[in-house]
Every structure is written in structure tokens, then in C-alpha cells.
Amino acid sequence: MDIIPFRFTQTTGASEIDEFQKELAATEFCSVTDDHIQENKSFNYTIFAPSGKEKRDKAIILLHGLNERTWEKYLTWAEYLANSTGKPVILFPIAFHMNRTPGSWCNPRTVLPWVGRRKKEINDLANSTFANTTLSSRLSVNPLRFYASGRESVYNLWQLVYEIKNGNHPLFKEDTSINLFAYSIGALLSQVLLLSNPAEMFNDTRLFMFCGGSIFSQMNGNARDIMDQEAFDSLQRYYRQDFLESRSLPTSFKNDFLEQAFKAMIRSDVLQEYRESFFDKACNRIRAISLKKDVVMPTEGIIKALGKVSDKVLEEIDFPFQYSHQIPFPFRSKTNQPLVNQAFNNVFSKAAASL
């Protein structure tokens, strides 16, 4: 297995993204607006590739969950998929996640004072921690950041896939086929990407979703390692009401195919025919596994997103050990490790077969 870093500098949609981000109010712990955060514009991503020097004609993009700073839990996922499929796996970070933020945002000396301050400012604040204060604060100041970052991530994936398919990537041949493995919020990003289908580059893309794919209104991100109660409540309130009614949106906001695709994923009754007809047509190239005890991305929410094809696309499973959405395979606990390995192999053998 070769593990290779590559550099990405965003160009597709860059000026639009900058204009959008300039209108989002800065936070107290970060005095500049989002368009000035260079780490988010230019960054490294990693590819796990089965050894061999020839250019490849197939690839899998792996997308992670919300509020993540490390790829640790995904390394075995990428290795398994690369070994089982023989395809390189691209670990691509979502905007303002992983290595796409200033280092101070995850430095305890910098962040801990803001944890205490936020708890003082908001009475009875639940689930406020060092791990989620940065994201919670940014979303509380302006919930529109969630959409802005998602839109930026779609542009980034559009650029990456265009570079690969046009033969401009050193690892891949022209017209390389690209599939997606998406976990948690990465599944929502993937659904928006396939629904919007920029430049028709994703006509044949296969998607495997794990612990993800729920309609937005059914998600529950109120967790110590995702976001606190106040941020989650403001996020749900904003998107289920103001965003859908186009209230208090910036002047740079565009009413276009990306916005339509995202709006279709907010509530099951919004753009329902558009969303469900897409999944009906694409059901042969989409598969999903949900976990019975997952409260962040519940099975019910995934069924509402997929519609009537959920019986064909979705499988709910349960594990015979304690797990959570955030830690589906608890390899560091006292859990029976052979059972954990068996569960992991069960999920990822199905993913590999689909991709």
C-alpha cells in the first residue's frame, strides 16, 4: 500500500465562495472572516493506493463526519477498501474540517477559555465541550456557515473530479471512474453532489453510505463531540424555516442547482418529488447501512430521505456490543474485539462489493 499526500488549492467557484464568506460575521476567537482563512483554501489530502506505478482508471473518494480533526478512525477503512477493491481511496477533507483550519482552533490553551465563556453566556448549556466549542460558536454566530461550507466542499469535489477525469492528476488516467464512500455528514454532502450533478460528472458514480443519508430535519448533532445544544437548536431552526423561506440571506447568495439540491435534503416534504424521483432512478448505484442504535443519523431519517426505494437501498443492522454513531467500531474499549472485527468486516465487505 502506498500512502501518498497531494496538494489541493481551490480554484473552482473560488471567487463566489470568497464573496459568500465575506458576509458571514467573524467570531470572537477568530477575528478574520472565513475568506481570509488560508488553511481552508490550500491544503493536503491523502490517497491510499495499492502499490504499482501505472496510472489508475478507478478511484473511491472517502468523506468523513461533522466536526472531525483527525483521520485516525478512517485509516483502517481506507486500507480495507483499497485492498478489497484494488482502487485508490482518496481521503478528502470537508471545508473547515480536519487540516483545513488554523491550528489554534484545536489548541487547548486557545479554546478552553472560550468553553467557559460560552457556558457563562448561555444558561443551562448542554453538551458544551472543548471538542465542539469552535464549531458550536461558529454556527451560533451564523448558521449559514453550515451551507456555505457544504457548498464550498461541493465545489472542491467538482474541481478534484474534473482534474482527475481530464487526466490532470498524476495518479489517474483520463476518464477515471469515481465512486463515493460517505460516512455521517459526508453522506449528506454526497447526496447533494449526486442530486446537483455539476457538469454531469457524476452520472455513473456509485455511492455507499454508512451511518448517514438522513434527511436534515431528522439528524441529531447535539453531542459532546459534534456540537452543543444551543448550536444544534439554532441550526435546525434556521434551516427548517429562514433558509427555506430565503430570509436573511446574503446578497451574494445564488438560487441555483446546488441550493435546490440542498433544500431537497432539509425536510421530507420539500421538493419531495424531485428528491425521490432521483433516488428512484439512481437506486441501482446507491447502497446504505444504518445502525439500529444510531441517534445522530437515525434509520427513520434515511428512509424519509430515500423514499420508497429505501427497502432496496438501505439495510439497518445492529452490533452485539456497545457502540455509537461516532465510534461504531470501539477498538480501544474492553469490548470483545473479535466481535468488533467481525462487525467491521461485515460492513466493509458490503461497501467494497458496492464500490
Instruction: List pLDDT tens digits, range 226-266.
Output: 999 999 999 999 999 889 887 766 666 677 899 999 999 99
Q: At 6, which helix (H) or strand (E)? A: strand 2-9
Distances (CA, A) of 191 to 58, 215, 294: 20, 10, 19
| Of 63, 221, 211, residue with least CA distance to 139 | 221
Contact 290, 298 (CB under 8 A): yes
Q: Are 271 and 216 in contact (CB under 8 A)?
A: no
**Residue 287: is its pLDDT beyond 80?**
yes
Write the single-letter amino acid at 76. Answer: T
Is the model's pLDDT at 274 over the cut of 80?
Answer: yes
The stretch 76-96 carries a mean pLDDT of 97
Taking the C-alpha atoms of residue 318 and residue 330, their distance in angstroms, rounded to an integer, is 14
Q: Which position has the grid cell 467557559? A: 116
Q: Considering only residues 309 and 333, tell me which one the structure prediction assigns the higher pLDDT.
A: 309
- How distant, in Å, are the alpha carbons of 209, 264, 267, 282, 298 from that of 270? 22, 6, 5, 19, 19
- Look at residue 182 and tell me whether its pLDDT is greater than 80: yes
Confirm if 25 and 66 have CB atoms less than 8 A apart: no
pLDDT for residue 301: 98
pLDDT in tens, 312-351: 999 999 999 999 999 999 987 777 889 999 999 999 999 9
Q: 124-169 pLDDT, tens per residue?
A: 888 888 788 899 999 998 999 999 999 999 999 999 999 999 999 9
> 289, 210 in Cβ contact below 8 A?
yes
Q: Which of 135, 102, 120, 333 is nearest to 222 (CA)?
A: 135
Q: Round to whole Å and give the CA distance between 121 and 130.
A: 16
Determine if the pTM surpasses 0.85. Answer: yes
CA-wise closest residue to 66 among 270, 196, 201, 214: 214
Q: What is the mean pLDDT of residues 280-301?
A: 97
Average pLDDT over the chain, rounded to an integer: 93
pLDDT at 171: 96
pLDDT at 26 over 90: no
The helix or strand, by DSSP H or E, that contains position 5, with its residue range, turns out to be strand 2-9
- Which of 24-28, 170-174, 187-191 has the lowest average pLDDT? 24-28
